[in-house]
């Protein structure tokens, strides 16, 4: 594919690195001549010095022959405008980086009205990953879909498990939790379970749930999902804000250490249930006085990688809890391998992974309705996200009345930014994003879910 990347910061560089390895033709645009020189010398990409919103610059980059444009500058508005320009010139696929929390609640509306293929938020992705590390035990693996709004949780049913012998249809009815068992792997077989499927110990199951619902579900089946109950976050930036909000939503106590007084006032207003302390997070004595030895979750999220490493090592030694270290510079990854750090998060790498998956989807599908394609259970199962563009014979009809194909399940419906774990009474409507789980390999259009 022909891909234009606007913005050569850490995210842009990582994207070029990953996408060029997959044999795409990459052109990068940035106003910083040194960045362009560095990236074109080190990686397989063409470079243009200029503004991605400028019409002539886009033409010079080959926008008229472009399949995908990715705008990942540090300016949200510039990214959105760049994508709109690209759509008007070439009607190519577009992805915009938007990190400001102000836009987050309206992401679905913005994406739909501007005709974007994807809006990506690196800070929210990183915060969601850290929240999962704090929230779920090592025995539960988590995959995220629909831009992090829906989680697929993989676990094995033990012999003494509450779910051993449980009928799938009874889970929502008896436990009163909006979750959906969407896949069962039993020995060498994989099932998309019907409502009367009975779970057995030894089964590896996959459950779809909203992040805020998952903890309640695990509590009801006797699994302690929350590994951390009292957390300390050093660094009250955007990632720290998103992380605190996620943890507070599931009942985790949060204390934020931030040295900027004005930012502390903002966080206190945005997160009234959190404890916000105006202090220097690198002051070890202050961290101890704020109860570092009593926390079971610690996240070092300052803007200085070296400081984050030292803080996590100190916190791990003092508290013995789970530590997460944010690292922005990927070149440190080799050095960090020899250190006793619990969990290291690279926000730019997580973001690049999301976008790279989407690029692979474009290669595998000729139909524009396919939004994302993921493989589960060693490729035996596909999770496919569709965007419903218009009315058809599958829209505005209760799911229970659709003649759905076997070995397929409608896992979630996202409408105006809200996620629905569907039952038979829900309907698919134009504008919805629909996630299906299937063992079939040929689904190129949302209408393929029904028998003909």
What is the full DSSP assignment across 208-251?
EE-HHHHHHHHHHTT----S-SEEEEE--SHHHHHHHHHHHHTT
Examine domains 230-348 and 352-449 and report if their fold is the same.
Answer: no
Least confident of 317-326, 331-340, 354-363, 417-426: 331-340
Report the mean per-residue pLDDT for the chain: 87
* Nearby residues of 370 by Cβ (< 8 Å), 6 or more positions away: 361, 364, 384, 385, 386, 443, 444, 445
* Close Cβ partners of 70 (under 8 Å, ≥ 6 residues apart): 3, 4, 5, 6, 15, 94, 95, 355
Mean pLDDT of 221-225: 75
Residue range 17-76, pLDDT digits in tens: 888 887 889 999 999 999 999 999 998 899 999 999 999 999 999 999 999 999 999 999
Say if domain 352-449 classifies as CATH 3.30.70.1450. yes
CATH class in words for 2-120: alpha beta
Of the two residues 341 and 375, the one the predictor is more confident about is 341
Domain boundaries, the chain: 2-120, 125-220, 230-348, 352-449
Residue 402 has pLDDT above 70, yes or no: yes
CA distance 83 to 70: 8
The size of the chain, in residues, is 452
CATH superfamily, region 125-220: Regulator of K+ conductance, C-terminal domain (3.30.70.1450)
Average pLDDT (94-117) is 86
Q: Can you identify the CATH homologous superfamily of domain 230-348?
A: NAD(P)-binding Rossmann-like Domain (3.40.50.720)
pLDDT tens-place string over residues 295-314: 999 999 999 999 999 999 99
Mean pLDDT lowest among 122-136, 367-381, 419-433: 367-381
In the three-class reduction of DSSP (H, G, I as helix; E, B as strand; rest coil), residue 154 is classed as strand
């Amino acid at each position: 594919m022909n891909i234009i990347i606007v913005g050569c910061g850490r995210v842009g560089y990582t994207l070029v690195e990953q996408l060029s390895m997959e044999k795409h033709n990459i052109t990068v645009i940035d106003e910083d001549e040194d960045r362009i020189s560095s990236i074109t010398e080190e990686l397989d990409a063409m470079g243009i010095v200029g503004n991605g919103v400028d019409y002539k610059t886009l033409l010079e980059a080959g926008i008229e022959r472009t399949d995908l444009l990715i705008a990942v500058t540090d300016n949200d508005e510039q990214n959105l405008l760049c994508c709109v320009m690209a759509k008007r010139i070439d009607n190519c696929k577009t992805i915009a980086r938007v990190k400001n929390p102000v836009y987050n609640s309206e992401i679905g509306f913005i994406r739909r009205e501007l005709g974007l293929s994807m809006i990506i938020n690196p800070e929210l992705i990183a915060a969601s990953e850290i929240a999962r590390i704090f929230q779920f035990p090592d025995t539960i693996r988590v995959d995220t879909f629909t831009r992090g709004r829906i989680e697929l949780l993989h676990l094995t049913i033990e012999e003494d498990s509450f779910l051993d012998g449980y009928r799938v249809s009874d889970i929502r009815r008896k436990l009163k939790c909006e979750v959906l068992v969407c896949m069962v792997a039993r020995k060498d077989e994989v099932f998309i379970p019907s409502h009367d499927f009975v779970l057995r110990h030894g089964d590896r199951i996959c459950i779809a749930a909203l992040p805020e619902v998952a903890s309640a579900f695990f509590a009801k089946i006797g699994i302690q999902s929350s590994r951390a109950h009292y957390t300390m976050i050093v660094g009250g930036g955007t990632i720290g804000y998103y992380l605190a909000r996620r943890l507070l939503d599931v009942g985790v106590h949060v204390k934020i250490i931030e040295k900027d007084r004005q930012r502390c006032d903002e966080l206190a207003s945005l997160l009234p249930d959190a404890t916000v302390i105006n202090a220097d997070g690198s002051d070890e004595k202050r961290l101890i006085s704020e109860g570092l030895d009593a926390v079971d979750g610690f996240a070092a999220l300052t803007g200085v990688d070296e400081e984050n490493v030292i803080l996590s090592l100190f916190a791990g030694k003092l508290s013995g809890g789970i530590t997460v270290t944010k690292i922005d510079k990927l070149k440190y990854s080799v050095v960090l391998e020899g250190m006793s750090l619990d969990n290291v998060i690279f926000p730019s790498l997580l973001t690049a992974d999301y976008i790279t998956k989407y690029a692979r989807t474009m290669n595998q599908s000729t139909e524009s309705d396919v939004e994302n394609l993921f493989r589960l259970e060693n490729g035996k199962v596909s999770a496919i996200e569709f965007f419903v563009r218009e009315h058809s014979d599958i829209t505005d009809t209760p799911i229970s009345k659709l003649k759905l194909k076997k070995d397929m399940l409608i896992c979630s419906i996202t409408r105006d930014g809200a996620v629905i774990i569907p039952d038979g009474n829900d309907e698919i409507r134009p504008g919805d994003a629909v996630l299906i789980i299937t063992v079939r390999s040929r689904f190129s259009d949302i209408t393929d879910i029904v028998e003909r």
